[in-house]
């Protein structure tokens, strides 16, 4: 079923659409072009937030609403102006925390906008595959382990090999363990998956 053909004016958040509950199948298995369009809108919203000098810091499926007009970013409770951010403190949903938070890397390389990019990679994987990934308990918090996700072996049903390869490329870039090589939102928006 396509979310665009549902005929409703408000469909809900992306988490409810993709994972309605633990005992029900996903309401929507988004097609390749739908995931691509949703991802583009998410990145465009993040580009706007980042251009204003902020980081959202809580990027996850449940913080995006979907309706007939598109995707809307919500819940700015963890947002911070980048210049005012204490890089030693993490705020957001621990499952989407980047590795530099988990392993306690040098705070001088931390950038909260790169946290958003990392969380986008995990979100895109979940949106495309319906797989919530694996997690680990560390210091009382649950963290994602994207290195355990093997997106190259899980092409969603109905996706072209070329489209999935391009999507995996974006996921891998966004989930780069080293924040200094993790791309910016602007760089991801120039990827051939969006521009071809």
Where residue 24 sits, what CATH number does that domain have?
1.10.510.10
What pLDDT, in 10s, does the model give residues 91-132?
888 778 888 877 766 665 578 899 999 999 989 988 888 776
Q: Give the number of domains in the chain.
A: 1
E strands in 23-166: 54-55, 64-67, 70-73, 80-81, 135-138, 141-144
Domain assignment present for residue 192? The answer is no
Residue 194: inside a domain: no
Residues carrying an active site annotation: 58
- Dihedral over alpha carbons 19, 130, 179, 106 (to 10 degrees): 50
Chain Cα centroid distance, residue 130: 13
Assess if residue 98 is contained within a domain. Answer: yes
Could you tell me the pLDDT band of residue 85, with boundaries at 50, 70 and 90?
Answer: confident
Asked whether residue 68 is domain-assigned, the answer is yes
Q: What is the DSSP letter of 162?
A: H
Residue 196 lies in a domain: no
Domain that holds residue 53: 3-79+86-184
Q: Note the pTM of the prediction, 2 decimals.
A: 0.84
Nearest-5° Cα angle at 76, 72 to 82 = 115
- Looking at the domain assignment, is residue 193 inside a domain? no
Domain annotation covers residue 160: yes
């Amino acid at each position: 079923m396509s979310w665009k053909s549902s005929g409703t004016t408000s469909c809900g958040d992306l988490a409810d659409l993709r994972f309605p509950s633990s005992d029900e199948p996903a309401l929507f298995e988004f097609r390749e072009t739908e995931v691509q369009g949703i991802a583009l809108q998410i990145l465009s919203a993040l580009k706007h937030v980042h251009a204003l000098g902020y980081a959202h810091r809580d990027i996850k499926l449940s913080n995006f609403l979907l309706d007939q007009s598109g995707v809307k970013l919500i819940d700015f409770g963890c947002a911070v102006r980048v210049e005012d951010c204490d890089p030693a403190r993490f705020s957001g949903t621990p499952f989407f925390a980047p590795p530099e938070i988990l392993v306690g890397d040098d705070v001088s390389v931390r950038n909260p906008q790169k946290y958003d990019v990392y969380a986008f990679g995990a979100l895109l994987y979940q949106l495309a595959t319906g797989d919530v990934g694996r997690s680990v308990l560390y210091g009382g918090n649950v963290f994602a382990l994207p290195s355990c996700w093997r997106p190259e072996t899980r092409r969603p049903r109905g996706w072209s090999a070329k489209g999935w390869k391009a999507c995996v490329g974006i996921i891998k870039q966004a989930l780069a363990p080293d924040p200094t090589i993790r791309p910016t939102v602007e760089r991801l928006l120039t990827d051939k998956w969006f521009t071809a």
